[in-house]
Amino acid sequence: MPEPEDVRSASVRLAGLAHRTPVLTSRMFDQRLGAELFFKAETFQRSGAFKFRGAANAIARLSDEQRRRGVVAFSSGNHAQAMALAGRLAGVPVVIVMPADAPAIKRAATAGYGAEIVSYDRYTEDRQEIGARLAAERGLTLIPPFNHPDIIAGQGTAALELLEETGPLDILLAPLGGGGLLCGTALAVALLSPGCTVIGVEPEAGNDGQQSLAAERIVTIPVPQTLADGAQTTALGDLTFAMMRDRVAKIVTVTDAQLLRVMRDLAERMKVVVEPTGCLAAAAVLEGVVDVRGKRAGIILSGGNVDVSLYGRV
């Protein structure tokens, strides 16, 4: 189980490697909500999302032997791009197991960072099996997207930087998929703002985290239909579930319609391009799902990798 101090160690490892992203504010939003809002813009992180932090931290923690042999991950999204870039920067070979029908733009971005892509048919083949076979045959180390102590500690460095800049906050909200970002955020809060309430925000169609905390066990759901493709996870991990039970106050949900309105709001008012998943925490505040009146609230804008034609339609 990662500890708060692990986030501090991760931030030392990431110095000069990950960007220290800006904290944005808006008087217009503050007036509208009667609150003080601080947006941590991970849209400007390397590879376009906070996931570079966890990936680079996990790779930095490998032994020399593991580095030489390389790593494997399965993902079609931001974890794949983050692993590919972090591996290239560290000189570590990266294999990404990706569905054959993944969007061409994501395949191209991952390949562009120099990773080897192994395709599979997601209707007839099991990516877990393929990953395990590759790991066994080539001695690769599997790096999962959220359920791993080094990934969680790395993701926590975004909130650590935010709190270093703002000082203690009353409330801090982060998007929730598998829980790596949210658990890392909670660890940073324990270090720098112990009285702060930590809230996770999920898409309404994929509220397995909310159901899991209510049921006190990990609830698995079918792949949710939502625009928030970075939060289409079907279940929390054992590690992230246990940490969330201890450190997260509650989970709230927002609809796709709310995400789209906020995506537009953020572009119009703050001039920042945020992908639908990246809008989850902002939507909970700006759409009034969580009451922040009179409070100092932190919001993580987790990423900006959005298909430009979708963005244009919005």
Ligand X SMILES: *Cc1c(COP(=O)(O)O)cnc(C)c1O
Cβ 34 to ligand X, closest distance in Å? Answer: 27
**Pattern 32-51, binding to ligand X, x per CB under 6 A?**
-----------------x-x
Residue 134 or 248: the one with the smaller Cβ distance to ligand X is 248
Interaction of residue 231 with ligand X, rule CB under 6 A: yes
Comparison of 75 and 166: residue with beta carbon closer to ligand X = 75
Question: By CB under 6 A, is residue 277 in contact with ligand X?
Answer: yes
Q: Which residue is nearest to ligand X (CB)?
A: 303
Distance of alpha carbon 45 from alpha carbon 242, whole angstroms: 28
Q: Please answer whether residues 188 and 160 qualify as being in contact, where contact means their C-beta atoms are separated by less than 8 angstroms.
A: yes
141-142, strands of its sheet edge to edge: 116-120, 94-99, 71-74, 141-142
Site string for ligand X, 144-173 (x = CB under 6 A): -xx--------x------------------
User: Is 4 one of the binding residues for ligand X (CB under 6 A)?
Assistant: no
List Cα–Cα distances, 139 to 45, 60, 65, 107, 242, in angstroms.
Answer: 30, 18, 10, 24, 30
Residue selected from 60, 160, 182, 292 as contacting ligand X according to rule CB under 6 A? 182
Binding mask 84-123 for ligand X (x = CB under 6 A): ----------------------------------------
Any contact of residue 180 with ligand X (CB under 6 A)? yes
The Cβ of residue 113 has, within 10 Å, a number of other Cβ atoms equal to 19
Q: How far apart are CA 27 and CA 168, in angstroms?
A: 20
Q: Does 2 bind ligand X (CB under 6 A)?
A: no
3-state DSSP helix/strand/coil percent for the chain, to nearest 5? 50, 15, 35
Least spacing, CB of residue 304 vs ligand X, in Å:
8
By CB under 6 A, name the one of 44, 45, 303, 306 that touches ligand X: 303
Sign of CA dihedral 55, 58, 64, 66: negative
Binding range to ligand X, per CB under 6 A, among 60-68, 101-109, 165-173, 174-182: 174-182
CB 231 within 8 A of CB 202: yes
Applying CB under 6 A, the span of 16-24, 160-168, 241-249, 272-280 interacting with ligand X comes to: 272-280
List active site positions.
Answer: 51, 76, 202, 206, 208, 302
Alpha-helix runs per DSSP H in the chain: 4-14, 27-33, 51-60, 64-69, 78-90, 104-112, 127-138, 149-166, 180-192, 208-215, 238-247, 256-270, 280-286, 308-313
Q: Is residue 272 within 8 Å of residue 199, measured between CB atoms?
A: no
Which residues in this chain contact ligand X in the complex, by CB under 6 A?
Answer: 49, 51, 77-78, 145-146, 155, 175-182, 230-231, 275, 277-278, 302-303
